[in-house]
């Protein structure tokens, strides 16, 4: 047998490799949900330190798009969350379609920059993506009231609404194929539902507050203006407390944290948190725990 044939034989399909049981399928789904939650929770934390390291703390998380290096992190992680959602199979076709829609919204948020620079400071370094450089004032350095900016905004709104629907209606549903969930007094299912509803309601309230901030017409002192160009930091411009204190950034942080917590719980923390099979305890040994996972695997397959 030649070396090529040996390499090919090494990669031959294995009979025991595909998912053969509902337990293995459930674990795969939980791992997907776990990573969605982890990435969503960590993204604003990472970007917070990125903003602090920059000369300018931008008004929103979306304005991280313009930060050197951290803009790439924002796009990469947000796209990763979107792809995880798009490949999240769920437990029904409607859940699958909802996840795909949410994933598309996340990707649109990542690749379409928000309006304005989000920066009130002069000469802050930026990841500027020029649409045109015909004049030295760089009036098109940052999009203002563009189609892409509006697409970014509505994609973000629809993404948060989609995630709230997951929390309030999808995750709280009872799996009739799960013997553990249909039993009465499954305390862990009750606790999970309480967490999902708490996160969902707070996300709706958070979105309402963000909508108020968006429509309140607060004074915005961005250093880059479509009308005056890159040197538009007016000495008489006094930013409103909303932008001055970066309220939008922290509200978006809260929304993403709630999103991450809900999906982390949906993923059972990787197999140890609020399990249906162990309704008498909040924390259990995970299925991957050494010298224990094999016994649990056999028990659940029965």
What is the per-residue pLDDT across 213-238, written as a single tens digit (0 to 9) for each?
888 767 677 766 555 555 555 456 67
Average pLDDT, the chain: 81
Determine the pLDDT at residue 300: 46
What is the per-residue pLDDT across 262-297, written as a single tens digit (0 to 9) for each?
999 998 888 888 887 787 788 888 776 765 445 554
Residues 66-84, mean pLDDT to the nearest whole number:
92
Instruction: Look at residue 8 and tell me if it is in a domain.
Output: no
More confident residue, 6 or 162: 162
DSSP 229-273: BTT---TT----HHHHTTHHHHHHHHHHHHHHHHHHHHTGGGTTB
Domain that holds residue 28: 21-296
Whether 260 contacts 38, CB under 8 Å: yes
Instruction: Look at residue 291 and tell me if it is in a domain.
Output: yes
Determine the pLDDT at residue 176: 76
Determine the pLDDT at residue 126: 74
Instruction: Look at residue 66 and tell me if it is in a domain.
Output: yes
Residues 67-75, mean pLDDT to the nearest whole number:
91
The lowest-confidence range among 98-112, 126-140, 201-215 is 126-140
Determine the pLDDT at residue 84: 93
Residues 17-39, mean pLDDT to the nearest whole number:
78
What are the residues facing 283 on neighbouring strands? 273
With vertex at residue 223, the alpha carbon angle to CA 242 and CA 216, rounded to the nearest 5 degrees, is: 30
Determine the pLDDT at residue 161: 95
Instruction: Look at residue 114 and tell me if it is in a domain.
Output: yes
Instruction: Look at residue 242 and tell me if it is in a domain.
Output: yes
Does 168 have pLDDT greater than 80?
A: yes
The pTM of this model reads 0.82
Instruction: Look at residue 192 and tell me if it is in a domain.
Output: yes
Residues 240-255, mean pLDDT to the nearest whole number:
88
Quote the CA–CA distance of 295 and 261 in Å, as a whole number: 29
* Total residues belonging to the chain: 302
CB under 8 Å to 21, separation ≥6 — which residues? 301
Does 302 have pLDDT greater than 50?
A: no
Instruction: Look at residue 177 and tell me if it is in a domain.
Output: yes
The lowest-confidence range among 125-129, 209-213, 280-284 is 125-129
Nearest to 82 by CA among 158, 27, 168: 158
Determine the pLDDT at residue 280: 79
pLDDT grade for 46, boundaries at 50, 70 and 90: very high
Determine the pLDDT at residue 103: 96
More confident residue, 174 or 225: 174
Instruction: Look at residue 52 and tell me if it is in a domain.
Output: yes
- What is the number of domains present in the chain? 1
Whether 62 contacts 115, CB under 8 Å: no
14 class by beta-carbon count within 10 Å (0-12 exposed, 13-18 middle, 19+ buried): exposed
CB under 8 Å to 155, separation ≥6 — which residues? 105, 106, 108, 109, 112
């Amino acid at each position: 047998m030649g070396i090529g044939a040996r390499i090919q034989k090494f990669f031959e399909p294995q009979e025991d490799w595909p998912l053969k049981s509902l337990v293995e399928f459930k674990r795969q789904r939980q791992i997907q949900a776990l990573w969605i939650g982890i990435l969503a929770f960590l993204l604003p934390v990472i970007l917070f330190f990125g903003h602090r390291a920059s000369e300018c703390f931008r008004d929103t998380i979306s304005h991280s798009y313009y930060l050197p290096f951290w803009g790439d992190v924002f796009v990469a992680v947000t796209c990763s969350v979107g792809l995880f959602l798009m490949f999240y199979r769920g437990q029904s076709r409607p859940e699958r379609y909802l996840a795909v829609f949410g994933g598309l919204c996340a990707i649109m948020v990542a690749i379409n920059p928000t309006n304005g620079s989000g920066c009130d400071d002069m000469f802050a370094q930026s990841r500027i993506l020029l649409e045109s450089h015909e004049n030295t004032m760089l009036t098109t350095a940052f999009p203002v009231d563009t189609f892409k900016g509006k697409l970014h905004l509505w994609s973000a709104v629809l993404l948060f609404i989609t995630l709230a629907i997951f929390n309030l209606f999808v995750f709280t549903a009872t799996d009739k194929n799960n013997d553990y969930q249909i039993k009465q007094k499954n305390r862990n299912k009750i606790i999970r539902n309480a967490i999902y509803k708490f996160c969902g309601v707070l996300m709706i309230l958070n979105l309402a507050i963000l909508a108020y901030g968006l429509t309140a017409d607060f004074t915005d002192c961005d250093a880059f203006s479509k009308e005056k160009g890159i040197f538009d930091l007016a000495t008489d411009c006094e930013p409103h407390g909303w932008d001055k204190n970066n309220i939008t950034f922290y509200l978006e942080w809260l929304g993403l944290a709630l999103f991450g917590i809900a999906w982390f719980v949906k993923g059972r923390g990787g197999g140890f948190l609020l399990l249906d099979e162990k309704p008498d305890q909040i924390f259990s040994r995970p299925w991957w725990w050494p010298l224990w996972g094999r016994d649990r695997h056999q028990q659940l397959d029965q």
